[in-house]
Amino acid sequence: MSVKKYIPNLITLLNLFCGSIAVIFAVHNNFVAAAVFVFLGIFFDFFDGLLARKLNVQSPLGIQLDSLADMVTSGLVPGIVMFKLISTRINAPEIVTNQEWTSNMNWSGINISVVALIGLFVTLASAYRLAKFNIDEDQQTYFKGLPTPANALLILSLPLIIEFQNSNFATSLILNTWFLIAFTLISCYLLNSTIKLFALKFKDYSLANNKFRYVLIISTVILLITLHFIAIPLIIALYILLSVIQNITTKTI
């Protein structure tokens, strides 16, 4: 029995493992550590499919396992982070319990902010997006809507900006309740929109066929060096803008 067919699935499980650790950190309000493990999970997510293609061991099991891992790393974690951020801004405890859980699930003393639950819409939208992706045979050379890893990076960038950027304007904007709610709803829309976004897979390396990819890659490097974590939302916005321009120019040719 060939061992190589298990290698991509092992990489996928590392993605899930990192996502599970990120959940623990996010629940305990350690967003920096959560972001680190989400980044690691996305790193593994990138290479599992690449390895499967290189080793020629793609399988339906691998496809389903990949989506399940993404659901945790890029779906559940950002939902928890957004839930926590909104909870903090409305000065309501996320979950407060004054007594131990009993065998019959006694909920007395537990208070959950209803408004903060809007943050979990990100998790629901991610699940819906992943389910659609699994049954959509068209998304081979492009994405329909923002991929869940990109959306996870977008949301995880918010606490990182607060923690490391030392920008009063950015911090006050992010810590605005209405901004967080609007950001959540926009995130949910982008995940399930019909906007065609080009994939970063290169069939060849010619400038003519990859000019938008090269612009995005070069801009990403420049923005990250100059703006650090604030660059992440700008990169996502640029990615969407370049994809829209490519769609328009392709249709007019």
Q: Is residue 100 part of a domain?
A: no
Higher per-residue pLDDT: 2 or 46: 46
Confidence of residue 101 (pLDDT cuts 50, 70, 90): very low
pLDDT of residue 62: 81
End-to-end CA distance of the chain: 50
Can you give the residue range of the structural domain that contains 238? 196-253
pLDDT of residue 149: 96
Q: Which of 38, 209, 236, 55 is nearest to 145 (CA)?
A: 236
Domain closes at, from 154, 169, 194: 194
Is the Cβ–Cβ distance between 236 and 154 less than 8 Å? Answer: yes
- Convert the pLDDT of each residue in 73-92 to its tens digit: 999 999 999 999 998 887 65
Q: For the chain, what is the domain count?
A: 2
Query: What would the DSSP string read from start to end of 84-119?
Result: HHHHHHTT--SSB-SSPPPTT---TT-B--TGGGGG
Instruction: Quote the tokens at residue 244.
Output: 């829209």
125 and 77 in a common domain: yes
63 and 166 in a common domain: yes
221 and 185 in a common domain: no
Is the Cβ–Cβ distance between 133 and 139 less than 8 Å? Answer: yes
167 and 228 in a common domain: no
What one-letter code names the amino acid at 236?
A: I
- Convert the pLDDT of each residue in 217-235 to its tens digit: 999 999 999 999 999 999 9
Check: pTM over 0.85? Answer yes or no.
Answer: yes
Handedness of CA 119, 124, 127, 129 (dihedral sign): negative
Q: 145: buried, middle or exposed (CB in 10 Å: 19+, 13-18, 0-12)?
A: buried
180 and 126 in a common domain: yes
